[in-house]
Amino acid sequence: MPFRRLLVTLAAALALAGGAVAGEAQVAVAANFAAPAKRIAEAFARATGHQATLVTGSTGKFHAQIVNGAPFDVLLSADDETPAKLEQAGHAQAGTRFTYAVGRLVLWSANPGVVDGEGAVLKRGDFRHLAIANPKLAPYGQAAIETLAALGLTDSLRPRFVLGENIAQTHQFAASGNAELGFVALAQVAKNGRIADGSGWIVPAHLHRPIRQDAVLLARGRDNAAAKAFLGWLQGDDAKATIRSFGYDLP
CA separation, residue 218 to residues 82, 193, 215 (Å): 12, 31, 9
Rounded CA-CA distance 229/40 in Å is 12
* Residue 194 binned pLDDT confidence (cut-offs 50, 70, 90): confident
In a domain, 251, yes or no: no
HEC secondary structure over the chain: CCHHHHHHHHHHHHHHCCCCCCCEEEEEEEHHHHHHHHHHHHHHHHHHCCEEEEEEECHHHHHHHHHCCCCCCEEECCCCHHHHHHHHCCCECCCCCEEEEEECEEEEECCCCCCCCCCCHHHHCCCCCEEEECCCCCHHHHHHHHHHHHHCCHHHHHHHEEEECCHHHHHHHHHHCCCCEEEEEHHHHEECCEECCCEEEECCHHHCCCEEEEEEEEHHHCCCHHHHHHHHHHCCHHHHHHHHHCCCECC
Range of the domain at 25: 3-102+211-245
**Number of compact structural domains in the chain:** 2
Instruction: Report which of residues 95 and 4 the model is more confident about.
Output: 95
Question: 10 and 47 in one domain?
Answer: yes
CB-side neighbour CA atoms (13 Å) of 205:
8
Reported pTM: 0.84
pLDDT at 196: 82
pLDDT at 17: 47
Region 237-244 average pLDDT: 96
Q: Is residue 2 very low, low, confident or very high in pLDDT (cuts 50, 70, 90)?
A: low
126 in the same domain as 78: no
64: CATH: 3.40.190.10
pLDDT digits (tens, 9 = 90+) for 103-148: 999 999 999 999 999 999 999 999 999 999 999 989 999 999 999 9
Whether pLDDT at 10 is above 80: no
Evaluate if residue 8 carries a pLDDT over 80. no
Mean pLDDT of 174-182: 96
| pLDDT band of 190, cuts 50, 70, 90 | confident
Residue 191: pLDDT band by 50, 70, 90 thresholds? confident
The pLDDT value given to residue 16: 46
| Mean pLDDT, the chain, whole residue set | 92
Q: Residue 158: is its pLDDT beyond 90? A: yes
User: Do 95 and 119 have their domain in common?
Assistant: no
Q: Tens digit of pLDDT for each residue in 38-94? A: 999 999 999 999 999 999 999 999 999 999 999 999 999 999 999 999 999 999 999
Does residue 120 fall inside a structural domain? Answer: yes
CA distance to 34, 66, 109, per residue, from 221 (Å): 20, 12, 40
Bridge partners for 133 per DSSP: 164
Both 118 and 129 in one domain: the answer is: yes
Question: Is 169 a domain residue?
Answer: yes
